[in-house]
Structure 1
Amino acid sequence: MDAVDAAAAAAAVDAVAELVDALPDGVVATAPDALEKYRFDWTHDARAGTPLAAVRAETAGHVQEVLRWASRHGIPVVPRGAGSGLSGGALAVDGAIVLSTERMRAVEIDTAARVAVVEPGALNVDVKRAASEYGLWYPPDPSSYEICSIGGNIATNAGGLCCVKYGVTTDYVLGLDVVLADGTLVTLGGSYVKDVAGLSLLKLFVGSEGTLGVVTRATLRLVPAPPPPATVVATFPSVAAAAAAVIELGRTLRASMVELMDQASVNSVEDFRPMGLDRDAGALLLIQCDAPGAARAEEVAVAVAACEVSGAKEVFATEDPEEGEMFVQARRLHFTALEARGAVLPEDVGVPVPRLPELLAAVEGIAQRHGVQIPMVAHAGDGNTHPAIIYTPGDDESERRARLAFDEVMAAAIALGGTITGEHGVGRLKAGSLEAQLGPDVMELNRRVKAALDPHGILNPGSFV
């Protein structure tokens, strides 16, 4: 280590000591074994750095203290929720601070305003359970809803299985408290539904992946709980036939769930936890309808007809909520099942629904060309797909081919008029492909917004913009 590096290291140590002194005991972690927990998100990407410290903030005041300190010292900050992200957006950076909101978990339900006032560390499932006690529902439902945090959901504008009918996180965010890079706390929106005062800054922060500020409180819109859904499960000889059924469905039906699993995904789940799925099917469609009263049966009839006319091998319908939930759980197990088979590069590309068959065919070709396995599930009703590229850990050649396939899948989605991410976010894994989708002018506009709110570039460097 030369003199310059030694001086920088000493300055960093002194700066961290200052931060430790400024916050209560136990809030700042610096021990190597403690920091290991905060290096990775669910991508387990080996390129994760080692932070100087991890701050487990307990109040908005703690978040303000950290960002004021970081601005003074020019030290980067990586905001982190539950660490369940799938785009590398919470991977630690060498020489940075990881700012975790995991301890900020308060949830309050206001039944009169029909909102939940939530701290960012609260899990998605915490909000659902709290709302359900009053007959209310928080619709955004990522497959990881039991372990992902509201802060992370807001950071990535998370969607989930029900978004085809009920929308994504931004549709339910009415208000935010956000701490900016310089430590300023701003309140945007509130418990009211309609608001056109000033620029729509509230929406700017939803999906910004911790690059513009750190959310410390959110006001979330709740809706009355829908009736139990009816479920339709259809198997098809190919993913192309299943995709054709999705397009047919979209012409006549607003289902509450339209999920696709290809054969590789079905078999991965069956290997991991046998659930009686048809291993021989080329693809499976899981459709749910939650219209009230007699309208639900009418929707089921439409869904069954759409599958049959598109060449389904078998179509099964049930009004039993528990039976339907069993199939939903099988779909949610997809990613966990794949992790048991090797390392996974998770994709999140989307296209206009009519182009879904072309995207599925393109992914199949990419898998064959690079000699990799790419099991596929999709929120098919809105064109958002999750190809998952599997490779052998520790095998450099296997990983090289997987990363080439990863980039080509994103390029294929862009070529079809789609997006490199529908709900997981750009993070660090996809940052290199963002300009290819947005174009140079829109990319520069993103950078200008970032520079206005974070002029020193300390918030989540290397992620997004």
Structure 2
Amino acid sequence: MSSLVARLTAALGVNAVVTDPDVLDSHRNDEATFCAAGVPAVLVRPGSTAEVQEVMRAATEYGVPVVTQGARTGLSGAANAIDGCIVLSTARLNQVLEVSVADQVAVVQPGVVNADLSRAVLAEGLFYPPDPSSWEMSTVGGNIATNAGGLCCVKYGVTGDFVRGLEVVLASGEVVRTGRRTVKGVAGYDLTRLIVGSEGTLGVVTEATLALRPAPEAALTAAATFLSIEDGIAAAAAVMASGLRPSLLEFLDGPTAQAIQNYRDMGLPANVGSLLLAQSDRGPRAAEDVAAIAAICASHGAVDVAEASDAAESAMLLEARRLVHHALEPLGTTLIDDVAVPRSRLVDLLTGVGAIGKQYDVLICCPGHVGDGNMHPTVVFDRDDPAAEARALEAFGAVMDLGLSLGGTITGEHGVGKLKRQWLAQELGPVGLRLQREVKAVFDPDNLLNPDKLFL
């Protein structure tokens, strides 16, 4: 290991190679606290593609695994270190290299923070839509690794829908460029789509060419409360079937809404069964859209509907959604699920989640992106109680089993990582799993890139 560190130091410089135990300890894991994390041997912070190549060549020569990390805001353990690995941080690869108004693309390095990119392109009258909840902290590279979604994906799509091309360093140290800058292009297999969502198991992304859109117009928001889950889901389905294109459609179940009300007085009634939040970003037409959404909600049993008249009121209505994490924190430790089901099965998912909570005697709150069927059932429990922790873990798995039984998926945007490996085989089936393992072997024959993720 000392000779490996010496080689890395010679290639990257002494300031880019860290072996301090305290620093290494702080880079062991992401936000998935229930996933095992090892102790890395060394942390490297390369500042260029050439330096990433040197890291991978050294790793291959010494047979040492590499775990790539961005901001470590992930929720599935995909960025967790393993014992004796090289942690490759993209922190210094943080430049927006180009913003082209003519081509409506941005070329960026993986360590660029999502919100910083959004602000940089907005200054040019452009818009980068993917907006995960962690957008003020998470990096573009991490968003690509998990194909992250966000609040706006109901209208605009997920990260992968905006990735035109990538520069990737392979385990061998070779560089491959996938995709292209053009809007259209179908030459050969789509390696860009393959890399997106691969969670650092196929290569290290060092540059991304991202599609942009014209900056959105001003947005307005509506919020509707219902006495039942069924009414809230029915209203959401009616909004999506109406021909309207909300830029945001979010759902909070009763337990989540009550937790928010207890955390901060939002004026929610004690008997709230669900809360629906919708937004239109069509400028002068937004008020008309919001009024139409409000009417749909009222016709589906909403007991109260609030329509924002300006940006300040819109922000106030959306505050309930942004408070979810803070509101659940005082209740105990959280295990955040990430299932997505067809919208027609959302009521089955929500009622099933409620039954699972009763079966395992745990609180499960269920906020989510109802417009695209991606929900976040969140198991809340006391981690100091071993019995409660055991029940919570069983409930977490039962929710994923339920999602699969409804024709859904175990992850809509958080990724598999370490947390959900045992369910991946169930979703893919034996042939699908074999093919994915074979793809991994082509890119990484020595299994050095994030080797304990995705597959058991």
Taking structure 1 as the reference length, the TM-score comes to 0.94
Map of 2:279 onto structure 1: 288
Displacement of 1:274 in angstroms is 4.4
After the TM superposition, which residues 49-448 of structure 1 pair with which residues of structure 2 at under 5 Å, given as runs? 49-107=38-96, 108-252=98-242, 253-294=244-285, 296-448=286-438
How many Å separate the matches in 2 of 1:218 and 1:127?
12
Q: Which amino acid aligns with 1:249?
A: V
> Percent identity at matched positions?
48
Question: What SS class does the counterpart of residue 199 from structure 2 fall into?
Answer: coil
Residue pair 1:236, 1:314 contacting (<8 A) in 2 also:
yes
How many Å separate the matches in 2 of 1:272 and 1:433?
34
- The reply on whether 1:22 has 2:15 as its aligned counterpart is no
How many Å separate the matches in 1 of 2:43 and 2:305?
51
Residue pair 1:266, 1:278 contacting (<8 A) in 2 also:
no
How many Å separate the matches in 2 of 1:100 and 1:273?
37
How many Å separate the matches in 1 of 2:132 and 2:35?
25
Question: What SS class does the counterpart of residue 15 from structure 2 fall into?
Answer: coil
Residue pair 2:201, 2:440 contacting (<8 A) in 1 also:
yes
Q: Which amino acid aligns with 1:449?
A: V
Q: Deviations over 1:69-110 (max 9, x none)?
A: 111111111111100001111111112111110221111322
Of 16, 21, 24, 1:32 maps to 21
How many Å separate the matches in 2 of 1:250 and 1:403?
34
Q: Which amino acid aligns with 1:377?
A: P
Q: Deviations over 1:408-452 (max 9, x none)?
A: 110000000000000011110001100111111111111111111
Residue pair 2:291, 2:307 contacting (<8 A) in 1 also:
no
How many Å separate the matches in 2 of 1:106 and 1:115?
15
Residue pair 2:56, 2:171 contacting (<8 A) in 1 also:
yes
Residue pair 2:35, 2:419 contacting (<8 A) in 1 also:
no
CA separation of 1:46 and 1:207: change in aligned 2, threshold 3 A: closer
CA separation of 1:222 and 1:408: change in aligned 2, threshold 3 A: same
How many Å separate the matches in 2 of 1:275 and 1:458?
50
Greater Cα shift, 328-337 or 109-118: 328-337
Displacement of 1:391 in angstroms is 2.3
Unmatched tracts of structure 2, length 5 or more? none
Residue pair 2:155, 2:248 contacting (<8 A) in 1 also:
yes
Q: Deviations over 1:374-403 (max 9, x none)?
A: 111110000000111122223322211111
CA separation of 1:243 and 1:163: change in aligned 2, threshold 3 A: same
Q: Which amino acid aligns with 1:45?
A: F
How many Å separate the matches in 1 of 2:383 and 2:9?
37
CA separation of 1:61 and 1:329: change in aligned 2, threshold 3 A: farther
Root-mean-square deviation (CA, aligned residues, Å) is 1.6
Residue pair 1:142, 1:161 contacting (<8 A) in 2 also:
yes
How many positions carry a matched residue from both structures?
453
Q: Deviations over 1:8-66 (max 9, x none)?
A: xxxx3432333233321221111110111111101223621111111122211221111
Map of 1:3 onto structure 2: none
CA separation of 1:276 and 1:104: change in aligned 2, threshold 3 A: farther
Question: What SS class does the counterpart of residue 368 from structure 2 fall into?
Answer: strand
How many Å separate the matches in 2 of 1:49 and 1:61?
27
How many Å separate the matches in 2 of 1:329 and 1:201?
39
Greater Cα shift, 274-283 or 71-80: 274-283
Displacement of 1:264 in angstroms is 2.3
Unmatched tracts of structure 1, length 5 or more? 1-11
Greater Cα shift, 336-345 or 55-64: 336-345
How many Å separate the matches in 1 of 2:423 and 2:408?
13
Taking structure 2 as the reference length, the TM-score comes to 0.96
